[in-house]
Chain A
Amino acid sequence: MFKRLKQKSNDQGTAQSSRNIALLLLAATLVFVSFSLFSSVLTWILLLVACGAVIRGAIYYNYYKHLPSIRTLNLLALLSILGLIYSALSAGLLFGMVNLLILACALKLMQMRSQKDVYQLVISLFFLIGCGFIFNQSIGFSLFYALLCLTLLLSLACYHAPSIRIQKQLKTISILSLQALPIGLLMFLVLPQLSPLWHTPKADGAQTGLSEQITPGDIARLSQSSELAFRATFEDTPPVIQQLYWRAIVMEDFDGKTWKVHGYRKKMRELQLKIKQQFKPILTGSFFNYEVIAEPTYQPWLYALDIAVPADPKSSRNIMQSSDFLLFSQQPLANKYQYAVRSYPKALASQTLSVTDKKINLSLPANGNNRTREWVNKLRAQFRNNNDFVDAVLRHFVDNPFVYTLRPEIMLVDPVDRFLFDNQAGFCSHYASALAYALRLGGIPARIVTGYQGGELVKNPGESPYMSIYQYDAHAWVETWGDKTGWQRIDPTALVSPDRIEFGLRQAMQEEGSFLADSPFALARLTNIAWLNNIRLFLADLDYNWSRWVLGFNSEKQRDLFKSLLGKLTPERLSMLGLGIVVTIAMLLGLFFLPHWLQNRVATTQRLYLKALSAFEKEGTQRATWQGPSAFNQQINEQYPTKVSDPFTHITQLYLRLTYQNKLDTDSSILSVKQCHRMMRRYLALLKSELLKN
């Protein structure tokens, strides 16, 4: 007896601890989700989350038994709300909401007592995981969030059935999730990809990538980063690498040190956005198509090769073209953004140069860089022809021992002078800046374009080739205006360090050893080790396919998929497809539930009989648990008048017949199972009405 008691208390103990495991899992999930949103969650809220987790942990390990009192928590909640309102006012709606949600979860975790609390927390956590996708969408995070969802389900299961071992629960949950996977996949593929009813609140992240102003030296920072900038998928063979100048930003405002996007252009763009007017370049010659998946930059600039226009209707809806042949999106890129472009490499960027344009592109700071001014004046006196003058300026870079380096000296005063005549070492932005300045001094309109140059080409057999362009591919070059040729690209860096253009930064910096010198563990740095490089390429490939096929799966991709399935998209075919999918899902579900359903069919007999029994139970006559049906029928016959007992006798007989008789005895006189059930139902109704009359 004692032993049994002890065992019972043990059972209760394990049940209790299993429930505690469930709560602990919830705590862990909350911690992981909130830390995955680390950058956009307030530190003190993270601290609260940690406190909640510590409390749960202490309870689990029996260090401590008491939850904080409701009064404490109410006070805490009040103070937190005030604090949150204070910080959210400046940081925006999304930020505030996410923090509020995390805060609420943390407090719930501390307060959690009843089943209701657990449900609330689980649902909030699911929502929170959903919110996580606003900030992180990479394949790694997706897996991570999927894992957290599994953990949530596991904790629910543990909470509901505490007596079952957690390993078994895990198995059940995994099987259930695997079963849900194909349906989820199918729904992902075929459900209409509606654009959201309201705009997903944009996360305001720090701007990354290129910036709207450039002081020689800035790109050095970028070139230390091996992060992905964007990927481009080409329909055919991509152009040779020397031609791959990905334009992003044009800068025309120079103050002697720093190049900026000109205020006039900014205003023009705002105006364009307002009146939705596109700039339409004149396009000639051959073209090629490609698709770009840009990483989030929180800036509107898009990347494209020379004279590009949006290539599909969706892109042309969202992408604006400005008069300096740039593409920009209507909203800053807060997520990965995919767009299709068509480039006309032979077309001339030869819109007329308006007076304003000319003024902007010739404007110079009033003073400074005097040596350069003198030098240019001397050259200009020598070469009246514009082309000759440009050549002469460029020759200066060739004739003097210029060095391409990622570690230039800092030039604070008269940077162009010092660069051109003293240091003669720098990288693309130094060269571009000096050249543009010199050309403007010589009266030739010139501007700086920043963007990326080159990229890493991946050609998998059977797939379209794609390029990965990393931040270290960032580049700056010059465009000058010629009356016949329009805007033309001149890249002084190519003269100084042809390797940079032809083979990329890594090759160019091989001797100096400064490539990614600040991030010694970057995989991109270790391309010499073959297997590491293979891993890097494989990861890049995986990420590319994830962005392209999962994140980039939009209504257009969906239509392409339908097209490849159906051929031509006619309403009949579409409706057939829809019908087919519905039928497929129904059949899958049917197959899944059929055994269960069949079992239920057999049990109908039982159910009807039990209904009759419960009718008598209401009248106060209960069948002893061991009593067989016909014995009970006899008892009823003795206790009740024939009006009542007769229908029951029929029910009993039908029940006995259906349950115990040989089903293989298919005598033609024997009623079918269905008929028997119908009769049973009829007798049941009769029995109930008779019992009521009694």
Chain B
Amino acid sequence: MLHNKLAMAIEQSCQVLIGKQQQVKLALTCLLANGHLLIEDLPGMGKTTLSHTLAKVLGLEYSRIQFTSDLLPADMLGINIFDNNEQTFRFHPGPIFNQLVLADEINRASPKTQSALLEAMEERQVSLDGETRPLPSPFFVIGTQNPSHQSGTYPLPESQLDRFLMRIQLGYPDKEAEKSMLKTQMGNVQHAVETVMDIAEFIELQNKANQVHASDELLNYILRLVTFSRESNQFANPLSPRATKALLSSAKAWAFINNRDFLIPEDVQAILPAVAEHRLRSASSDFSAQGSLSKLLLEAIDPIAA
């Protein structure tokens, strides 16, 4: 029953993002694993559309913050304003007090604002003027960013990239998909998307995804991967224990989306590029190798070996 709703959610989203089923599933996986998502691509590839669609399909409160170089933390978190009538300070919550926040072009904001956001992401609460205010639950941030070598950007440091459970790239659609997009979506199609579930159902799905069984053999596989990243001299930044946890929880959500109640190595392999790529950094200064780091990792480890 719930699984049907999940399938429907994917189907609905795919109507909007034609030919991007893999990315849609990954994004949904990330949300099911209760993690934040970073979408990295060139402008106009559908980053905003994806996040918007997900919010709508899953029935989450949604807000969007456009990051610019002059955006201040207060613009995002909210401020206390003195109310003349009641003679007190009243808190005006900022756009971050929503269940799904789209942080658009996150690398255009100054590091100060970036870190304020990332702190909120990690703690799931906001501290302002000595008062701590919890953020709504569930709370997701979908950050989008342009590739860092574009002008006018402050690239996120590794420590902050680590806070995002996944980083995905959308990429160009293939010819067929683009053609059907041209045929069907000349209007605003997002209105056609239906909300398929409510918050309670979504949280139940999250819980169920977390209960997917991971056998010892599979945990060993994950550990072998992680250990390899630490022992091999090809990686300057190996995978952290947080990354290990991220691998497991995302693989569980992925298996759940694929309607399985136990993990197989393919689950790990499917989510590994999204989960690990932004956390790894090549030891060699050769940038052309950067794109294949997770592939390098995957191909080094035999999932079957005992």
Residues of A within 8 A of B (CB): 603, 606, 609-610, 613, 623-631, 656, 659-663, 665
Contact = CB atoms under 8 A, between A and B. Distances in A.
Given A628-B266, A629-B304, A630-B266, A661 B215 contact: yes
Given A660-B217, A662-B213, 8 more contacts: A626-B302, A628-B264, A660-B213, A661-B215, A662-B215, A662-B262, A663-B215, A665-B213
Contact of A609 (B215, B300, B304): B304
A660 B264 contact: yes
A595 to B, nearest CB: 15
Contacts of B299: 624-626
A626 B301 contact: yes
A629 B265 contact: yes
Contacts of B262: 656, 660-662
Among the interface residues B266, B298, B301, which one has the most CB atoms of the partner chain A within 10 A?
B266
Contacts of B200: none
B261 interface: yes
Contacts of A606: 304, 306
B269 interface: yes
A630 B264 contact: yes
B178 to A, nearest CB: 27
B217 A661 contact: no
B275 interface: no
Contacts of B266: 628-631
Interface in B223-273: 261-266, 269
Contacts of B213: 660-662, 665
A627 B266 CA distance: 8
Contacts of B35: none
B303 interface: yes
A627 B295 CA distance: 12
A23 B299 CA distance: 43
A659 B215 contact: yes
Among the interface residues B263, B301, B304, B306, which one has the most CB atoms of the partner chain A within 10 A?
B304
Among the interface residues B217, B261, B265, B302, which one has the most CB atoms of the partner chain A within 10 A?
B265
Contact of B302 (A625, A656, A662): A625
Nearest to A623: B304
Contacts of B303: 626-629
Contacts of A624: 299
B218 A628 contact: no
Contacts of A627: 303
Given A631-B269, A661-B215, A662-B213, A656 B301 contact: no
B67 to A, nearest CB: 38
A661 B264 CA distance: 9
30 contacts: A603-B306, A606-B304, A613-B304, A623-B304, A624-B299, A625-B299, A625-B302, A626-B298, A626-B300, A626-B302, A626-B303, A629-B264, A629-B265, A629-B266, A630-B264, A631-B269, A656-B262, A659-B215, A660-B215, A660-B217, A660-B218, A660-B262, A660-B263, A660-B264, A661-B215, A661-B262, A662-B213, A662-B261, A663-B215, A665-B213
A661 B298 CA distance: 22
B292 to A, nearest CB: 13
Closest 8 pairs (CB-CB, A-B): A662-B213, A628-B265, A628-B266, A626-B299, A661-B262, A625-B302, A660-B215, A628-B303
B191 to A, nearest CB: 38
